[in-house]
Each structure stands twice: as C-alpha cells, then as structure tokens.
Amino acid sequence: MINLASITTQPIINRTTSQLSRGDHWDHFLARLGYKRSEHRVKPGLYAIGNPTPSSPVFVTANYTLSFDALRLNLAGLDGYILVLDTQGVNVWCAAGKKTFGTEEVVLRVIATQLKQVVTHRVLILPQLGAPGVAYQEVKKRTGFKVEYGPVRAADLPEYLKTHQATPSMRKVVFPLKDRLVLIPVDFVHLILPGLLVALVFYFFLGGLLPALAVIAVLLSAGILFPILLPWLPTHNFSTKGFFLGLLTSIPFALSAFFQHPDWTWYHRIGQAIGFLLAMPAVIAFITLNFTGSTTFTSKTGVRREMFAYLPAMAWIFVGGIILNLASVLIH
C-alpha cells in the first residue's frame, strides 16, 4: 500500500533506457531458471525513456523485471513514460488474475507519482493482458486518466502508436513453440532434485531399475515433452492432456513388466503393468496441471474448476497404481 502522506511536492521521475546491461541479462537467466521467483523486481514508480515531453505517451506495466524489460526494449527510439505498478514481482497476466495489477494499484500509482503534473494528456496505455484486473471506468472516475489497451505483445507497440488502433493480429493471444521452450526450465529445474530422490527410493524399495526409470520418464515427459506437444495433445483441459501423454509414456514400461521378470507369475506381471498405466499418467497429469500458470490458455476460474474436477481422480489413480506395484514386488 502506498503512503500518500509521503508524496513529495515534486514528481520523482526515474530514468531507464532500452539497453540491457550484463546484470539485466543475468537476472533474466536466473528468472528463466525459476531462481528466487518472487525477487526479480523493479522499483515501482514513474520512469522516463528517451527524451519525453509532457505530451509523450504513458505505458503501464508490472514490476516483474522480464515484463518491464520487454516493454523498454520495444520502445527503442521512442520517447515516453513507463508507470511501473507494484505487482509483487509477478508478470502482468498473472498479476491481473491476482488483482495486484488492478484498479486500486493503478489509481494509487497515478496519484503517488503525481502523473498529472508530468503529462498534459490523460491517457494510460495498459497491456491487453492486464485488462481482467482493471476497471477502466473506475480509473477514469478517480484519476481523470482514460485507460487504453495496447497490443498483447510489446513488440507491436511501435506500430500501434501510429494510430492507437490495434489490428486483429495485435489482439490475438498466441503461444508458439519458441515461447513454450523458454518456459521449460522454470518448472523443470524444480522437478529434478525431488524426482531423482524418488527414483532412488524406487530403485531400492520398489523393484529396481524399471520403476526408477519410470520416474525419470515422468519428469522428462511432464517437464519437457508436454510444453513442446501442448497444442497437439487431444482434449482442452491440461489435466486430460497430461493424462493422455502419461498413458503414452507408460506403455513401454507396462510392456517391459512382462519381459523384465520372466520368473514372476502372470498376475504379478499384470499387476505391475497396470500399476505403471495408472501411476505414471496420474503424476504427469498433476504436474502438467501446474503448467496452466505459465500460459494464457486458461483463466483463474477455469483452473479452479479443473482442479476440483480432476485432482481427486488423480490421487486415487496414483494410489491404486502404487499399491499394485508394491503388491507385485512384495508378494513375489
């Protein structure tokens, strides 16, 4: 919360450029690895880029460094102001869902920076993905500034500023392979250590190499293959997409159960095979459900509905698969 009593008589305008330093690149690298995810922040406030005048445009963004830097990089050669909201180090789309990129923060930041003293116009250019969190009528009523929604991607801003009219392509939300590949390390690095520990436990207590390899396959499938194959996996829900991918991943392990233990009885082998077919898809479905937070493919309410609908089923299926695997090993 901004302390309005602390506002000085003169607006404070910070300076920024469209050039990234080595420190900026290092920060991006750590952010992409998910290291200290909530600490990649820019100080909220008003920033000048280029040589702005009182008539220069005002762009609004989050204080997540990747969001701020994406904006300023695409304003190269342009003059303007960047109003940075305090979204607690969260990107625009996610912050809009959490309401930290929201009406109250926009209003308070306009007042705190004394923006009316800086510019003569009364227009704020917000990113389109921030729209769910902002009631533009309320912003206009309380600050006098009209909210204008720019394009989805900052790269389209130079073209957008020529007419202040977004083309259909500027409004379209896309999630191409390049963007999906960039996101892989964020979640995958957090899966590696616990995954390897589980693989060791499975190796020593749940039947040796095959269950351990199954754990590794789950990590690779959920953490790497799923983002790559996302548009081509059937169904609309992330959970069922992940379950389908999990079934494909588990088939080789189910078949291997019949050949790895020729001394086992048929019902022991069938039990382990079915265990793989149940446990692996359930875990992959659970991990891939978390990937919704990395995309604009769904909404907060959609994720909540999917969690309530599928999480209990995932848990029961996983438990059933583990019990079958344990039974096959211990009874034998």
Convert the pLDDT of each residue in 231-242 to its tens digit.
999 988 888 999
What averages of pLDDT result for each successive group of 10 residues across the chain (332 residues)? 58 94 94 86 96 97 96 96 95 86 96 96 95 93 96 94 93 88 86 91 80 93 93 89 96 85 72 90 91 63 74 90 78 61
Q: Which of 174, 279, 176, 290 is nearest to 223 (CA)?
A: 290
Question: 3-state secondary structure string, 118-139?
Answer: HCCCCEEEECHHHHHHCCHHHH
Q: Which of 212, 224, 284 is nearest to 248 (CA)?
A: 284
Q: How much of the chain is helix, strand and coil, in % rounded to 5? A: 65, 10, 30
What pLDDT shows up at residue 261?
A: 67
Residue pair 129/175 in contact by the 8 Å Cβ criterion: no
User: Cα 305–311–313 angle (5° rounding)?
Assistant: 115
What pLDDT shows up at residue 213?
A: 93
What pLDDT shows up at residue 295?
A: 65
What pLDDT shows up at residue 290?
A: 79
Domain boundaries, given as residue ranges, for the chain: 4-171, 177-331
Prediction pTM value: 0.81
Fold adopted by 4-171: Rossmann fold (3.40.50)
What pLDDT shows up at residue 330?
A: 66
What pLDDT shows up at residue 297?
A: 60
Q: CB 209: neighbour CB atoms within 10 A?
A: 12
What pLDDT shows up at residue 92?
A: 92
Buried b (16+ CB within 10 A) or exposed e, 264-292: beeebbbbbbbbbbbbbbbbbbbbbbebb
What pLDDT shows up at residue 143?
A: 96
Q: Which two tokens stand for residue 200?
A: 């060791």
Q: How far apart are CA 139 and CA 123, in angstroms?
A: 11
What pLDDT shows up at residue 124?
A: 98
Residue pair 158/74 in contact by the 8 Å Cβ criterion: yes
What pLDDT shows up at residue 204?
A: 85
Residue pair 282/317 in contact by the 8 Å Cβ criterion: yes
Q: How far apart are CA 133 and CA 114, in angstroms?
A: 22
Helix (H) or strand (E) holding 15: strand 13-16
CA atoms within 13 A on the CB side of 281: 25
Q: Is 164 left (phi over 0), alpha (psi -120 to 50) or beta?
A: left
